[in-house]
Amino acid sequence: MSDGKDMEQPLVFGLDIGTRNVVGTVGYRTEDQFIVTAQYIMQHDTRAMLDGQIHDIGRVSGTIRKVKEQLEKQIGKTLTEVCIAAAGRVLKTVTTSISYDYPEESVVTGEDIHTLDLLGIEKAQKILQEMNDTNYKFYCVGYSVVKYFLNDEPFSNIESHKADRIGEDIIVTFLPEDVVDGLYAAVNQAGLEVANLTLEPIAAINVAIPESYRLLNIALVDIGAGTSDISITKDGSIIAYGMIPLAGDELTELIVQNYLVDFKTAEYIKLQSTTEEEITYKDIMLIEHKIPAKEVWELTAPVVDEMTTAVAAKIKELNGDQTVSAAFIVGGGGKIHGYTKMLAEKLDLPDVRVALRGEEVLQEVVFEQQDIKKDPLLVTPIGICLNYYEQRNGFIMVRFNGERLKLYDNDGLTIVDAALQAGFPNEDLFPKRGPELTFFVNGAKRIIRGEQGESAAVYMNDRPTNLNAALEPNCEIIIEPSTAGKPATCTLDQLEEYTTDSVAFVVNGNIIRCPKFLEVNGKLEFPSYQIQEGDQVETRSFYTVGQLAEFMDVEVNVEHVILVNNRRATLDSLIYENFTIEWTVRSYGKPSFQPVEQEEVQTPTVGEYKEEEIPDIVDTEMSAEADGAEVQNPEVHNAVTAEDTDDAGNAGAKEKDSAVTDDAATVEESKTITDSTAGVNGSVAGENAAGMDETDVTEENADGMAEAVKKVTAEENSSPAAEEDGSMVLVYINGQPVKLTGKPQYIFVDIFDFYEFDLTASNGRAIITNLNGENASYSAVLKTGDTIELRWKEN
């Protein structure tokens, strides 16, 4: 233990839980050194671990506790957190590329690089899920960036540079759930919490091959008792990881069989053969033997040959089917006699290019314990401690809807991550729309979307929260699934074709504009008809004379001649756009059949008055009809009267109610005519049809007036009043004008129906939802002119 200056620094506790040994290291990092304040090595009493996998959690936990207690005595402090590493048994490696585009040129920060790493890890996890052909559930236990890119150009360090786009090639390593769970369980039973988890080859390479060496194509082989972990460097980066399940225990087991000793004695013989010329031991019969070390070398040579052959093959496979420039060996298993020489032969390298790495790579490590000798066995334990400063990560436990989950902690976990890990359906997280309605209008497909449902109810530790809330360790999460909205509905009178499409006729010299009839599946339906799935809706551009009379609320005197385009007609005759109709009206009243319903009422018709309320002008016309005079449509008298006749008996108009003589006059007069409840939406032509020929009506006045009325209608529909009545709201989303239509009122969540925004691309980020500069709730009511900011929060 030091004189106390080390206590000024936060201590890091690293634990190398190997197949044969548990090595505990406590220290801290200065600017250019790592100071080891305490270290303790202890062997397992039994074979509680095989090939890097914990088989007896209780026994391994007991060994860890003893190492922890010895270290606590040395430093005089209680240890609560530990950094650990996993061996590469059933290791999976995914190499992928990831990039991020800034909205505008920006300075790259350390946080940006960290976010890029996390995006790469998440992408690798998705790739592994797709390619996983085993029953194992894999966890990420480490990663290495192969190369960074700045505006698509390779860079060794992109921090503080300006860029429009950053990217990286990354190697992400994964281990099965049972390997990780076993390590966590053993550590927890020893009274410790995991502060950081990495992979043994990652820990070893950070010490054995410094960055200045990584330009070279070098292989690092960490030979433990159960596994031989391999990593490869090239062009300044770590390019691959691998593992073979052959290591020191293969040699020990051979010695057990040949010399009739227990496993512990065999380990002693193996270690002594690397340092001594003769070895003395007792077999299980308690007979003492003395053998030369060369005998052990000759015994183990075939197994060493098998091990080096497998390691060399794996190195070449990871290096693109070619050998490397050099190989470094660390770990206790690599000290067996002849290993480095055999591996050099298999890699086609000179003997001097394959060597043990121990004291050479620990120059910047200072041991305060004088009796510690720097050797390859200590490389990985030191690397585990140093990895704490490079990649602080691990796992956190949560309970999701009653199920216990373990999640890889990337410092940005949210409730959404827990939901996805638990397999909670995405569609139950976000509001669901009711079933949509699909039908056809004039052959064109029309889809009405269902109403939006309610979002999922989210609780963490019994407190209401949202999906983007950060996870707390050991928290209790409850998510109640979102609900579906009501099914889509639509009636005929809600269709744009019903409210905007019309057909104009000239009746007794007056332009009458009528809505087009709507047929559903070949049958005429009322405007209140509820459209059904797959309905075929067609607009009909013609009336019969009888239907026009019903629409105008008049009874036609069939004893008088009915003229259509100056030809005799009947009530069943078809009439089309701009046709002229001449008839004699018998009476006014409520029609027996009303094909359309008008919602907007401006000027009542005669048929709507009670008998005692009928205006005098109607009485005058009824008297005129009784005397044989031609009766005009009563609506005409709202703007123009036709009581006077000239000497020839032809109908005319007084000068003060003069005929329309040009298009401009027609437009102005058309604006003064109001619609009736029965749907009269036209303006009055100044001259009676008897005073003009058919061509005059249909080509000049009728067309001119029709265009004028269309113009007026368009102006009215686009007026501010149309927005204020709730039928349309104009908002600005991220500076872009967006019209909200189809509902009487809109709330904030409705914008997702009109504005493209991918709700699944969170990548651990929160969503920004601002309304007029303030944070908005999803139920906030929208009005015209509102400004909305909608984007993902940058990590």
Rounded distance between C-alpha atoms, residue 244 and residue 310, angstroms: 7
Helices (H) and strands (E) in the chain, counts: 17, 43
Rounded distance between C-alpha atoms, residue 511 and residue 659, angstroms: 13
| Amino acid found at 707 | E
Sign of the C-alpha dihedral, residues 30, 32, 37, 43?
positive
Reading the block at residue 508, the tokens are: 């007794």
Q: What is the pLDDT of residue 98?
A: 92
Strands (E) across 381-427 are located at 394-400, 403-409
Phi–psi pair at 513, nearest 5 degrees: -105, 125
Rounded distance between C-alpha atoms, residue 205 and residue 199, angstroms: 10
Alpha carbon 139 to its chain centroid, in Å, reads: 21
Report the run of H or E that residue 792 belongs to, with start and end. Answer: strand 787-792
For the chain, list residues with pLDDT below 70: 1-9, 51-52, 88-90, 141-142, 391-395, 406, 408-412, 589-727, 759-760, 762-764, 795
| DSSP per-residue codes, 11-38 | PEEEEEE-SSEEEEEEEEE-SS-EEEEE
- Contact between residue 19 and residue 225 where contact means Cβ atoms under 8 Å apart: yes
Rounded distance between C-alpha atoms, residue 10 and residue 225, angstroms: 32
Q: Name the nearest CA neighbour of 34 among 392, 381, 391.
A: 381
Rounded distance between C-alpha atoms, residue 788 and residue 774, angstroms: 9
Helix axes 702-717, 663-670, angle to 10 degrees: 40
Three-state SS for 569?
Answer: strand
- Contact between residue 242 and residue 199 where contact means Cβ atoms under 8 Å apart: no
Using alpha carbons only, what angle is made at residue 623 by residues 621 and 628, rounded to the nearest 5 degrees?
90
Q: What is the pLDDT of residue 311?
A: 93
Q: Which residues lie closer than 8 Å to 105 by C-beta, 6 or more apart?
A: 162, 163, 164
Rounded distance between C-alpha atoms, residue 476 and residue 470, angstroms: 13
Rounded distance between C-alpha atoms, residue 540 and residue 217, angstroms: 80
The residue with tokens 């959690």 is 57
**Per-residue 3-state assignment (H helix, E strand, C coil) for 756-788:** CCCCCCCCCCCEEEEECCEECCCCCECCCCCEE
Rounded distance between C-alpha atoms, residue 393 and residue 668, angstroms: 77
Phi–psi pair at 587, nearest 5 degrees: -160, 170
Alpha-carbon distance values, 233 to 25, 202, 206, 417 (Å) = 26, 11, 11, 33
Q: What is the pLDDT of residue 594?
A: 39
Strands (E) across 573-716 are located at 574-575, 580-582, 585-588
| DSSP per-residue codes, 303-345 | HHHHHHHHHHHHHHHHTTSS--SEEEEESGGGGSTTHHHHHHH
Rounded distance between C-alpha atoms, residue 657 and residue 314, angstroms: 103
- Give the DSSP letter of residue 378: G
Rounded distance between C-alpha atoms, residue 385 and residue 392, angstroms: 11
| Amino acid found at 363 | Q
Q: Return the biggest CA–CA distance within the chain.
A: 153
Domains of the chain (ranges plus CATH)? 86-392 (3.30.420.40), 395-480 (3.10.20), 495-515+543-718 (no CATH), 723-792 (3.10.20.30)
Using alpha carbons only, what angle is made at residue 685 by residues 679 and 689, rounded to the nearest 5 degrees?
105
Rounded distance between C-alpha atoms, residue 94 and residue 79, angstroms: 35
Strands (E) across 340-441 are located at 354-356, 365-367, 394-400, 403-409, 437-441
Side-chain half-sphere CA neighbours of 127 within 13 A: 19
- Contact between residue 356 and residue 331 where contact means Cβ atoms under 8 Å apart: no
Reading the block at residue 138, the tokens are: 């894999």
Rounded distance between C-alpha atoms, residue 537 and residue 520, angstroms: 5
Helix axes 248-259, 293-318, angle to 10 degrees: 150
Three-state SS for 675?
Answer: coil
Q: Which residues lie closer than 8 Å to 366 by C-beta, 6 or more apart?
A: 33, 34, 35, 36
Phi–psi pair at 777, nearest 5 degrees: -90, 160
Q: Name the nearest CA neighbour of 714 among 741, 736, 681, 669.
A: 681
Strands (E) across 258-336 are located at 278-282, 288-292, 326-330
Pairing verdict, β 567-569 and 81-86: unpaired
SS3 content of the chain, % helix, strand, coil (to 5): 30, 30, 35
| Amino acid found at 493 | D
Q: What is the pLDDT of residue 141?
A: 66
